[in-house]
Amino acid sequence: MRSGIARTSTMNLAVTVAVLLAFAAMGSVVIKLPEIVQKNHSPVEKAALAGAGELSKIVVNTSSCGFVSLADHEAAGRGTLAKDGYPLPVRGINSLIGTARLSLIVADKLDQSLMEEFAEQDLKLALSAKDELLECLRKSLSKDGEATDCNGAPVSPYKSAMEAYREAGGKSKQLSLSLGSLQGGSSTSTPVPNPEHMAPVGSGLQESGFYRAFVNIPYKDISFVFGGLGRETTLVNGKQWRAEIADLSYQFPTIVKVETGKENENACAQPGAPEAELPSPGALTMTFPDGPVPEIKHPGDCYRNESLNSADNDTTDLLTASGGDYPIDGGSHMAELPWPLTGTRSNESPANVWRLALHDWIRRAGPGANIGSIVAMQDIELDRPKPSKIMWTAPLQRGQTYSSIEPISSGIVHIFEFDREGYVSYRSKLVAPYPLYASSQGQLYCESFGAIKYSDIGLQAIMIPLSPRAKRLTMRAAWDVYIRDEVRRPGTVDGGKHAGQPVAMPVLAMEAKAPYICTDLTVPPLILPASFEGGGGAAEEPAADGESVDQGKGLGKGAGSGLVGLSGRQEMGYLPLVSPQSDFGEAMSPPPPFVRPMPFGNGRRPFSRASGTAVDIKFRRQIDVTELNGFTSSGYIGITGEN
């Protein structure tokens, strides 16, 4: 264990200790639950149990949070298929509210006010989904009311209640079912923050490590109210039932009251559902195909670095794939993506976009994520690649055999994942520039050119043995940044074909790469305008066409709203030795291999138990190839070896 982060070699020890501590803590706590009638149920009590039991099965597809219910449901329902053919998980409203509260706490501990805003927005979205669900639940309680479960099968709480009532000998011809809350609170199955000492919840606001329902549990003056929900459906004390609880910022009624029309003949029940196995949250990855960046020594440097916090209208684009996964789906293209807090185009720094991606990754872990582990993760020292150098081997010109050029830095990817106990684990692997990754339809993609300028890495000149004379390329002291947030927009309404679920990243998994690699791709060629803009800044190195480039600042100007890459031919690279200055390899010949976000098939989602990538930040070092091309131009290292 290092700085609160569980590495894979010590993760099991951390989990074991956490479980033992949890049991030790529970031994001194008195468990309080709503009053439960164990046997000799009356007809109306059986009706209440049946009606409440059906409520927790109902699933609603929302635009704000995807598929929701009173309880979490695993990703296995035929009625929750994404456009990629795989089923989606169903999130319980309590889980969404608890996750928003945890995200607010984490943002506060990290002293990140923007992430606090994201958490508050998540709460608003969860409450919007709650209202949609409650509307459906209330309608389902009527005599002819009906809803659907995760398989798309009909669910009728009223009919189930009436059947149970009559089977038990009930005589009334009609029942009345309504939703309410319990005065004085009730139980939930949503865990309080872990570890508790980082965000204590008072004894009157929790029961045995789980939030209480129908009471306000604020954090930083933000109200959080949970609905009553247990691991099983139970009868509760009807004298506590209220249509509304006074002085709450919002209502979340989940208690079913059944009345027969006769005086004092009623019963109340709280819904319940067993704990669901939710999919793996997915990995947060930091990818350095060109070797370590001196300015990024810890994960938290991605939002603390001064250069990354600088917003530049010309160099940063916030985009989303439309019409499919870009660029591997026919007809797909990139479109402008509004900033989520404003709903409009916004000039955001790479650091702010990464704050959003980090928040979304934490959100994937749910209310049980370990706060201390997340906070400690930000300051863990990143591994260095071993070996530190590899021989750059590539064809110098089209049709030539591979040549050994010069040793260059080894690429490395840093992988952070949540284990089942909510702890963050860390590992790293060597990585090459290829294969490239598609952008998921409907999710977030950000590109920022020259995001880190005047890097401490300095300049490196490499002579390329061309005929009739050797020419120089220069590895600049400038880094471009690409951010993918594949879990930004959950659900089928706005989340695209994968509905905001983690996608393939072969370096994460042990399985063969074959199902994921796409090579039969024709990337649209780069169209060069008749005129183009070259680089700016202080002159350091004259270009063949009379322009100059500040090699510390580098080149980079966004192509404009909804467009990928740079303006003009300055991103051309020098094929096949140096790829274009783009994360999608436009104009690369032959086209580069891409990773399919999902393998072909159906059934259980491939990354339900193994990690796919949820969010990724990639740093690419600019290479000046002006002398090779005869005009101002940049690119990236592409091919690094024959394999």
Burial zone of 172 (CB within 10 Å; 0-12 exposed, 13-18 middle, 19+ buried) = middle
Q: What is the mean pLDDT of residues 385-396?
A: 94
pLDDT at 120 over 70: yes
DSSP 431-484: --S-SEEPBPBTSEEEEEEEEE-S-TT--EEEEE--SSS-EEEEEEEEEEEEEE
Q: What would the pLDDT profile of 173-205 be if each residue is shown by its tens digit?
A: 999 999 999 999 999 999 999 999 999 999 999
- SS3 assignment, position 404: strand
Q: What distance in Å separates the CA atoms of residue 244 and residue 249, rounded to the nearest whole number?
A: 11
Cβ atoms within 10 A of the Cβ of 191, count? 22
Q: What is the mean pLDDT of residues 323-333?
A: 92
Q: Are 599 and 84 in contact (CB under 8 A)?
A: no
Can you give the pLDDT at residue 516? 58
Integer angstrom CA distances of residue 39 from 44, 175, 270, 426: 13, 22, 16, 50
Spell 116-152 as b/e; 16+ CB within 10 A means b. Answer: bbbbbebbebbbebbbbbbebbeebbeeebebbbbee
What would you report as the CA-atom Rg of the chain, rounded to the nearest whole angstrom? 28
Spell 395-420 as b/e; 16+ CB within 10 A means b. Answer: ebeeeeeeeebeebbbbbbbbbbbbe
pLDDT at 475 over 50: yes
Our CA dihedral for 525, 526, 530, 534, rounded to 10 degrees, sits at -160
Q: What distance in Å separates the CA atoms of residue 425 and residue 443, rounded to the nearest whole number?
A: 25
Binning pLDDT at 50, 70 and 90, where does residue 589 land? confident
- SS3 assignment, position 487: coil
Binning pLDDT at 50, 70 and 90, where does residue 562 land? low
Can you give the pLDDT at residue 568? 58
Which has more confidence, 487 or 522? 487
DSSP assignment, residue 279? P
- Of 120, 454, 412, 447, nearest to 290 by C-alpha is 412
The H or E element containing residue 278 is none
Binning pLDDT at 50, 70 and 90, where does residue 87 land? very high
Can you give the pLDDT at residue 397? 84
Q: What is the mean pLDDT of residues 83-91?
A: 95
- Copy the structure tokens of residue 513: 């790469």
Binning pLDDT at 50, 70 and 90, where does residue 530 land? very low
pLDDT at 527 over 90: no
The H or E element containing residue 207 is strand 206-207
Report the mean per-residue pLDDT for the chain.
87
Q: What is the mean pLDDT of residues 129-136?
A: 99
Integer angstrom CA distances of residue 114 from 103, 120, 326, 357: 11, 10, 29, 12
H-type alpha helices, 446-592: none
Q: Are 393 and 577 in contact (CB under 8 A)?
A: no
Q: Are 504 and 476 in contact (CB under 8 A)?
A: no
- Of 332, 393, 394, nearest to 521 by C-alpha is 332
DSSP 43-109: HHHHHHHHHHHHHTT--EEETTTEEEESS-B-S--GGGB-TTS-B--BEEHHHHHHHHHHHHHHHHH
- Copy the structure tokens of residue 591: 């086209």
Cβ atoms within 10 A of the Cβ of 193, count? 24
Binning pLDDT at 50, 70 and 90, where does residue 7 land? low
- Of 638, 605, 438, nearest to 519 by C-alpha is 438
pLDDT at 539 over 80: no
Q: What distance in Å separates the CA atoms of residue 338 and residue 497, rounded to the nearest whole number?
A: 19
- SS3 assignment, position 7: strand
As beta bridge partners, residue 415 has 285, 427
Q: What distance in Å separates the CA atoms of residue 489 and residue 498, rounded to the nearest whole number?
A: 10
- pTM > 0.95: yes or no: no
Cβ atoms within 10 A of the Cβ of 159, count? 18
Spell 525-560 as b/e; 16+ CB within 10 A means b. Answer: ebeeeeebebbeeeeebebeeebbbbbbbbbbbbbe
- Of 287, 257, 409, nearest to 357 by C-alpha is 287
Q: Are 4 and 377 in contact (CB under 8 A)?
A: yes
**Range from 11-20, 107-116, 336-345, 574-583 that averages highest in pLDDT:** 107-116
